A and B are shown apart, each in its own frame.
Chain A
């Protein structure tokens, strides 16, 4: 073997020298400015016409706590209904059957095309259209008794959510490689089994971030149900300020609770994402 040729002169050995930290003056100045602005805003509110003692006193009263429980119950149930409808409608939309396709497209068109608050009011006032509802000969009831604020809110929010969720689900299913359908078919699976066992689990990984978005939207959209007397958080806060006129204080109470709930949901979403990321990370076990 030939010896390595001698190295050229004039290139000093840099090993042992560290890269110096830059002072980043601009970062310090901009951070200080932002802190000043925030302090000014806090000071303005502290000295404004807000009785902070009311905020802390009403933060944990029974009506508010019941309101947040009702909000969460409604958000979870309506979202479950929405995801169920969304999956069914997305599968219909991707089916080769033109009847199913058209029904699915019509559903999405109708419920995405009208305001949510209008849909809630329509469900709640269904009794004006159908005084009695039921199955002829088997069961019937007065619509006003059946269509409680709870049921009207659940149907209104859930069915509306289904229209949006179906598009999220459809995007997720389209993101799965066509080879996965073929491999599932090649081991004898039918279309629906291939969707349930092979395609949907892989689509879930893609749809969880947008579904997390939709769920956070749903938590706040339940506040619209206050217009149909469903006793959720905003509705109960309003009832209190109708009595004591502390409007801003109670709106702040409600706002703090919404913020808290959404703050808890974000890490939960990350846990779910990890669950469905199975097999996507090379070294994850």
Chain B
């Protein structure tokens, strides 16, 4: 029997008084494309940030590829891992941010080669070949020497996807990847994500693009107030929601 790639068990996370996650449990299976939907503040972005440890959970546990994240159990207590070990765990995930966060002082190509050469210590020659191939895959072969400021938002986000893929992650996390884009640029980013989904990549996508969710997602998870309210096949959750809160959210969004 296969094991889930990500196993999330009763995870809670507070920011001061605010409860961002309240005992969330969830499995993500290899090759699955999962879309997380919900109003802002519902905890979906926080959940992603906890999986790649940009935020540290307060209680519960997250296992990625069978490995407990961020802590080690020893003598009945949990001990925080060192920064180095957390960095090693992060390499299994790739993150795409809402606001791209490309490195503005490096070209598109340099943004992609930075991680493999600096963190994984690989040779620039071989990494460059892969990076050019990734740029071609996201349709930006001609822009390898452009700086982020010279690219449109959609192009920047596609470079950011290539940058995340260059680390050969097992899981790709997308945090509202099209929310900061002009409407006419959304399509080109979604097209790259669809192609990636087809290639079998496991993906967790926080999004407001319900059309994308309907078309690509294997499972849609609706979150509200830090908890999972409803989940299932896209056609069920989006087409025939059972929960009142899901219905209310969907009628407000569409």
Contact = CB atoms under 8 A, between A and B. Distances in A.
* A and B are interacting partners: yes
Interface of A: 177, 179-180, 182-191, 193, 197-198, 201-202, 205, 276, 278-283
A179 B87 contact: no
Shortest beta-carbon contacts, A-B, top 5 = A187-B115, A279-B147, A183-B101, A186-B95, A179-B101
A36 B87 CA distance: 69
Contact of A189 (B118, B149, B160): B118
A189 B93 CA distance: 13
Contacts of B166: 187
Contacts, number: 81
A121 B92 CA distance: 57
A186 B49 CA distance: 10
Nearest to B92: A188
B149 A187 contact: no
B105 A201 contact: yes
Contacts of A186: 52, 54, 90, 93-95, 97, 164
Contact of A190 (B87, B102, B105): B87
B65 interface: no
23 contacts: A179-B97, A179-B101, A180-B103, A183-B102, A185-B87, A185-B90, A186-B90, A186-B94, A187-B119, A187-B166, A188-B88, A188-B120, A190-B83, A191-B83, A198-B103, A198-B114, A202-B104, A202-B105, A278-B105, A279-B147, A279-B148, A280-B104, A282-B149
A177 B97 CA distance: 13
Nearest to A205: B105
Nearest to B150: A282
A283 B105 contact: no
Contacts of A182: 54, 95, 97, 101
A214 B99 CA distance: 35
Interface in B54-70: 54
Nearest to B99: A179
A194 to B, nearest CB: 10
Interface in B103-136: 103-107, 114-115, 118-120
B69 to A, nearest CB: 14
Given A182-B54, A197-B114, A279 B105 contact: yes
B163 interface: yes
B149 A188 contact: no
Nearest to A283: B150
B196 interface: no
A183 B149 contact: no
Given A193-B119, A198-B114, A202-B103, 18 more contacts: A177-B101, A179-B97, A183-B101, A185-B87, A186-B94, A186-B95, A186-B97, A187-B115, A190-B83, A190-B84, A198-B103, A201-B105, A202-B105, A205-B105, A279-B106, A279-B149, A280-B105, A281-B149
Nearest to B94: A186
Given A279-B106, A279-B149, A282-B149, A188 B167 contact: yes
Nearest to A189: B119
A123 to B, nearest CB: 38
Nearest to A178: B101
A178 B163 CA distance: 18
B52, B88, B147, B148: most-surrounded residue (chain A CB, <10 A): B147
A180 B163 CA distance: 13
A184 to B, nearest CB: 8
Contacts of B95: 182-183, 186
Contacts of A189: 87, 115, 118-119
Contacts of B167: 187-188
B103 A183 contact: yes
A276 B118 CA distance: 21
Contacts of B250: none
B94 to A, nearest CB: 7
B238 to A, nearest CB: 29
A188 B114 contact: no
Contacts of A202: 103-105
B91 interface: yes
Contacts of B105: 201-202, 205, 276, 278-280
Contacts of A191: 83
A179 to B, nearest CB: 4
A280 B102 CA distance: 12
Contacts of A177: 101
Contacts of A276: 105
Contacts of A187: 90-91, 114-115, 119, 163-164, 166-167
A111 B228 CA distance: 55
